[in-house]
Structure formats: structure tokens, C-alpha cells
Amino acid sequence: MTRPNRDEHLFSPGPKRILALDGGGIRGVLTVQILKRIESLLRARAGGDDTFRLCDYFDLIGGTSTGAILAAGLATGMSAADLETLYQELGDAIFEPDLLRWGLLRAKFSKAPLEKALKRQFGDIRLGDPTRIRTGLAIMLKRFDTGSPWVVHNNPRGRYFSPRPGGKALANSEFLLWQIVRASTAAPHYFDPEKLVVGRDAGGKDQAGVFVDGGVSPHNNPSLQLLMLAWLRGYALQWPAGADRLLLVSCGTGINETALDPGQKAPAAAEAVIGLASLMDDALALNEQLLQWMSVSPTARVIDREVGDLATDHPGGGLPLLTYLRYNAHLDGDWLRANVRPDYSDADAKALREMDQPKNMPQLIEIGQAVARKVEEGHFPPVFDLR
């Protein structure tokens, strides 16, 4: 089997493949089950080589928050089984309760265990490393001190990848991989923000930006941003469009729509939190709706009763722009009872929505395996097979 290197993934002609991985804290272990199934299916399609990795197949892998951990791991050659082991090892360490931390005056969890784990896994790898990062990689961040979403990627033709003559900004290629992943996982309330050196002033002194979880942006599901990265002229990839030319595979951590019971009385602060969470839910739903509208999608779900699944809709009445696959679970009692086990209660479903509960991992694995069973070989058109 031929293994493309980073630049061959990014710049060689032919159909292109993107893998997008949502944020969701410990619920990332649900995503891992889907990845294990996809990896097994694609390994068989590639001849059954035990050394096959998803970074051999996908030309661009991107993630947000826990999805950034997964994306960085896959792009550096980890298998899906390796990622499951990593999550099993890290869950209790990262989300260890601290009686002095309540998430009000200080972050709920110390960043030290997560930082230690990321340093151990990714070491001194920098984003510009063309050998240890084996395919295209994009990480979603939110710069808190300017309010701007950042997509940090390893396209060597990108505007900010290399040092610019006379420029004071730090090039993307110089970022340590562990640190940008840590920044993408710095969820407010749960972890402290991450300070990254982003440039130097006229006197040569480091200038830092303050970054938080990329999920605090429209890109907790990074699919649409990755599609823009592939297509927009400014990002310097300009991959082709078409159902037989671009494949986007998107894996979630569970849908949990946030709502307030009409009869429920809530403090103003709680209403504000619910409002913010529902805004993030809306961004995820819009992301899916736009992608189903643009694409051929054998996994399309009914968006609502008015627009349906958009199978016969395409922008301007034209041809589909890509093939789109979306795999996710619904963390509500009805879905879990129908798709996983009949004894799941609504209270069970609500508890599973928490992003910081390692005790939920066995159930999340079970749910992920149920979603993985919905991944079919026929979803992946042969035109995208490795040659």
C-alpha cells in the first residue's frame, strides 16, 4: 500500500477526503468507537495491512476540543485503538474532582494532568513537521483576548505557515502541537485558558494571546470550517468540488439539545447558561443543514418537518458539491432505547450529556458502538479508495 506524505495528501491531484471531529469532553470516547469501525472498514478496502492508519486515507483531519486530541493523534499515526487506550488512561486523571475548585472563581479542573498527558503524547512535534504529522491537520481555537475564531493548520502554502520577512507574528509551523491542542481543549469553566506566544514586539519581547476551547465558536463541529479550508482561495488548497471529488466524514460526540421546561423557574444566571448552550446547539444544527444541502449524503437525517432531509435540494438547483457522511448519537431517552438498550431512562440520557464524567465511559462506549454499527461499507464510494 502506498502511503502518501503530508504534501502528497494536500497537493496531489485526484479525489480528496476530509475527516471532521466534534468537541464534547469525555464524550470523545463515543467518537472513538465510530473511528474504530471506519478504520477497520477502510483497512480492509486497502488490502488488510495491519499498519494501515486513518492518516493514510484522509487528506485533511480536523478537530475541536476533544476532537482536536483525536485529530492530532490520528494525524501523527495513532490507531483508533491507541486513542481508546489514551482516553481510558486520561479520563480519571484529567477530570479528577478538587474540593477547592467549583468552576466559579477558578476553573473546575487543574490543567496540569491534561498538559502532562499532551506533552507525553506529542512531545516536541511542531505543526510544521512534515514527517511526524503525516497528513493535513487543522485545529479549531478561539482567541479570547480578541474574540476571533482561529483555524490553525499545517498547509505549507498557507499565509501564516512560514515566517514572513520582517514580520513579528509567530508562524503556524512553529507552534508546538501539544500546546495548540491544549488551547483547543481549554473549555471555560472546566479549564484555565491557554496563553500562546503569537508574536514578538519591536524589542523582541514575546507577545501572548489568550485562547480557549474552539467549541466557544461556530466550529464545535469543524466540518464547515474544514470545507472552507479546502475550497477558499485564501487558504491556498483549492480542492475540487463534486460528489465524486470530495468526501467529508463527520463524527459527533452526541446530540443533546438544550431546552428550558415552560413551567420551570430558573435563576437569571442559569437562563444565561442555557441560552449560550442552545446557541451552540443551533450552530451544530445549522452546520449539518448546510452540509446536507450541499451534498449527496447517504446518512442524511431529517432536519425538521418543513425542510426534510434535503436529499433533493442543492444550492441554486445545481449539482451536489461533495459526498457527506455524518455519524452521531442522540443523547435522549427515546433514541437510546430504540438504538442501544430498551432500559435507558430519560435520567440516564441526561446524565450522559455531561462532558466531565469519566464514570460515563462504559455507557458512552456502548452508545458509540451502536452508532458504529450504522457505518456501512457502501457509504464510502469506491472512487475515494486508495490507489
Shortest CA distance to 301 belongs to which of 332, 327, 264, 274? 327
Q: How far apart are CA 40 and CA 43, in angstroms?
A: 5
Distance of CA 162 to the CA centre of its chain: 25
User: Catalytic: 213?
Assistant: yes
State the greatest distance between any 2 C-alpha atoms of the chain, in Å, as a whole number. 65
Sheet strands (E) in 38-144 = 60-64, 136-143
Residue of 129, 309, 160, 285 lying closest to 229 (CA atoms): 160
Alpha-carbon distance 269 to 292, whole Å? 35
What residues contact residue 273 under an 8 Å CB cut-off, 6+ apart? none
Pick the catalytic residue from 56, 65, 223, 356.
65
Sequential DSSP letters for 221-258: S-HHHHHHHHH-GGGT-----STTTEEEEEE-S-B---
| Catalytic-role residue among 22, 213, 332, 356 | 213
CA dist 208 and 211 (Å) reads: 9
Whether the Cβ atoms of residue 86 and residue 26 lie closer than 8 Å to each other: no
Sign of CA dihedral 208, 210, 212, 218: negative
Name the residue with cell 467529508: 248
What residues are labeled active site? 65, 213
